Structure 1
């Protein structure tokens, strides 16, 4: 699926979320603290390579000038069956080490295709009292967002892209960190990854295009969000959520905000208000 033009980030109404909004920042957290115990910690297996794949990997390493002599000797003398067993052991070791390294160092920040999911509002939007940010995906870091794939079984990785790539992270390995159990499919998630966990990334102001406010958010929460935005992102549209009366859903309508003193000056409020 192509990258959608907009993605959404649910937030609880907390001091940290407000500070991040004020600073145009998103936080790349370590996946080790996520609520899914398998998130970025899947236990992938390695697909058994065909005879043709074994020979392709053998030729790849024999053509490399920097292969140690003892390894080169093995590639030259082992038969296909012995090579296959060795490659499976090596591939699994590389895979296990990659997952371990990712969990210990990398950061992840998550977005959704939807802004009206009841489950997302309940789990990540402060139980309908928080807010949801709308981002353009043609601005960093969302230009590199990857879609999460939902599966019933643990993934398996092909050996060729795993062992025959000079890149630090092959696409096959990166896909592991974007694979979750089918139970989480309601999230419609896309995610961005950073080399270092605990990084606060500053996005360009024009990346933020809207703020959707939960249907149960207090008016004071709405005012705080509106005051932050009007002083730094006047082009951002505010949307007020409400519970639909006809179906199980959250509906939004655009709203504007006039500060108290300005409303008083314009005669929209009594003088003693």
Structure 2
């Protein structure tokens, strides 16, 4: 994945210190950033709505008329009273930094790479994620309308994650103490943990990584830290030097700026490749060539 930069004090400091700057969404240039429709309140039993079906699916029931689900629905929802998360707080706490899928995106060079006067860093996704405790990588969704995020669905998914997680460790402990084979039960709980986690991440993607279709040219990925916080200040996240695979210089970067970056990178690792983004004669394409 690739991150475009103009050459300035902040980009050079982050390169030198091996850090990424993550900002509050209100500082981004999209006025619809992190704008979603939030629904709250558990749907009534058997109301026939899509929300009711979504809650049942989060609970693990595929059919909205499942007898077991209908029989226990009111009792289960009562047990979750007050468990709906504050979606707006989640959004406000998130800190985001953005990447693109390609190093030869003309509009990305124009908008974020200072018209080929800046530079672009290629990062290894795995090494970036391995160095983070509270951050995840999300593919940006491009849509015609804002996403719908249901707090009741998220409450059920959180409960299912905790239930399966607790059950897994209790069963694992019992298996070790008794010497009995609980492999099948453990696999069921593992599946429940993964399903809940994946669906929770999909909701985070909807509320924090969904943009209007007009932005689809960015082919964006987002690294998002969702730690709880009470301010709107940006944060820096460190990453290992090994996370940098290459540095791509814009064709129009000044020789002084280029030399400054070369000196920094040469002290970091000999394995970091240096490349150049150049305009192709006879077309409006950008070509990535050897340095």
What's the TM-score once normalised by structure 1's chain length? 0.72
Could you tell which deviates more after superposition, 169-178 or 242-251?
169-178
Q: Which structure 2 residues correspond to residues 96-111 of structure 1 after superposition, within 5 A?
A: 97-98=86-87, 100-111=88-99
Contact 1:32 1:103 in 2 (8 A): no
Unaligned runs of 5+ in 2: 41-49, 54-62, 163-196
Contact 1:239 1:253 in 2 (8 A): yes
The answer to whether the aligner puts 1:141 opposite 2:141 as a matched pair is no
Inter-partner Cα distance in structure 2 for 1:156 and 1:16? 36
The answer to whether the aligner puts 1:183 opposite 2:214 as a matched pair is yes
Give, in angstroms, the shift of residue 44 of structure 1: 4.8
In 2 relative to 1, CA 54–48 (structure 1 residues): closer, same or farther, beyond 3 Å? farther
Contact 2:143 2:212 in 1 (8 A): yes
Counterpart of 1:228 (choices 259, 264, 268) is 264
Unaligned runs of 5+ in 1: 1-6, 72-89, 256-273
Q: What residue in structure 1 maps to residue 224 of structure 2?
A: 193
Give, in angstroms, the shift of residue 13 of structure 1: 0.5
Q: What residue in structure 1 maps to residue 36 of structure 2?
A: 42
Contact 2:37 2:149 in 1 (8 A): no
Structure with more of its chain in helix, by fraction: 2
Q: Report the 3-state secondary structure (helix = DSSP H, G, I; strand = E; otherwise coil) of the residue aligned with 2:13.
A: helix
Q: Report the 3-state secondary structure (helix = DSSP H, G, I; strand = E; otherwise coil) of the residue aligned with 1:235.
A: coil
In 2 relative to 1, CA 174–54 (structure 1 residues): closer, same or farther, beyond 3 Å? farther
In 2 relative to 1, CA 8–60 (structure 1 residues): closer, same or farther, beyond 3 Å? farther
Q: What residue in structure 2 maps to residue 115 of structure 1?
A: 103
Contact 2:25 2:34 in 1 (8 A): yes
Inter-partner Cα distance in structure 1 for 2:242 and 2:97? 19
Counterpart of 1:52 (choices 64, 73, 84) is 64
Question: Residue deviations 1:19-49, cap 9 Å, x none?
Answer: 0000111011111111111111223568543
Q: Which structure 2 residues correspond to residues 47-86 of structure 1 after superposition, within 5 A?
A: 47-50=50-53, 52=64, 56=69, 59=72, 62-63=75-76, 67=79
In 2 relative to 1, CA 53–11 (structure 1 residues): closer, same or farther, beyond 3 Å? farther
Inter-partner Cα distance in structure 1 for 2:114 and 2:267? 24
Inter-partner Cα distance in structure 1 for 2:89 and 2:3? 26
Contact 2:140 2:222 in 1 (8 A): yes
After superposition, the CA RMSD in angstroms is 3.1
